[in-house]
């Protein structure tokens, strides 16, 4: 079985860093990147991607994650999905405390990122 991680970020460097770290921590993982919350929500609603983990950047300009959390909460197939916030603006997720599994400390070096991801998995 393959572990799927949905990375929501508009920064291509995040994809490189998170995907490399994820592959080192769990070889059976696949990281899909979507550049904004609306596209990620549309992908989830298709139900072709049911991730184990959603990594959500708080650095996305104008981030409004309400619909993402609403979608995850309403559909039973997403009840196991853990949302992890990362970035310099964790306060953006303050209203969703009960739905956010963890918030990664920022800034974080590559070795800390690998350790953080290994604890999540």
Residue 47 in tokens: 């139900």
**Residues 100/93, Cβ–Cβ less than 8 Å:** yes
Question: Token pair 């603006």 is at which residue?
Answer: 89
Confidence of residue 119 (pLDDT cuts 50, 70, 90): very high
- Predicted TM-score (pTM) of the model is 0.94
Per-residue pLDDT at 106 exceeds 90 = no
Please state whether the peptide bond connecting residue 87 to the residue before it is cis, i.e. omega within 30 degrees of 0.
no
Between CA 88 and CA 105 the distance in angstroms is: 9
* pLDDT tens sequence across 55-91: 999 999 889 999 999 999 999 999 999 999 999 999 9
**Average pLDDT value for residue range 35-39:** 94
**Residues 7/34, Cβ–Cβ less than 8 Å:** yes
Element (H, E) at 84: strand 82-86
User: What domains are there in the chain, each with its CATH number?
Assistant: 3-120 (3.40.50.2300)
């Amino acid at each position: 079985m393959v572990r799927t991680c949905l990375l929501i970020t508009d920064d291509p460097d995040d994809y490189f860093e998170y995907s490399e770290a994820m592959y080192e921590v769990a070889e059976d993982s696949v990281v899909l990147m979507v550049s904004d919350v609306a596209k990620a929500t549309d992908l989830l609603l298709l139900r072709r991607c049911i991730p184990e983990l959603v990594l959500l950047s708080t650095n996305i300009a104008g981030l409004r994650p309400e619909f993402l959390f609403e979608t995850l909460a309403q559909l039973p197939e997403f009840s196991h999905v853990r949302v992890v916030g990362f970035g310099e603006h964790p306060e953006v997720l303050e209203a969703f405390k009960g739905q956010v599994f963890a918030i990664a400390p920022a800034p974080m070096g590559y070795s800390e990122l690998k350790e953080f991801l290994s604890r999540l998995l």
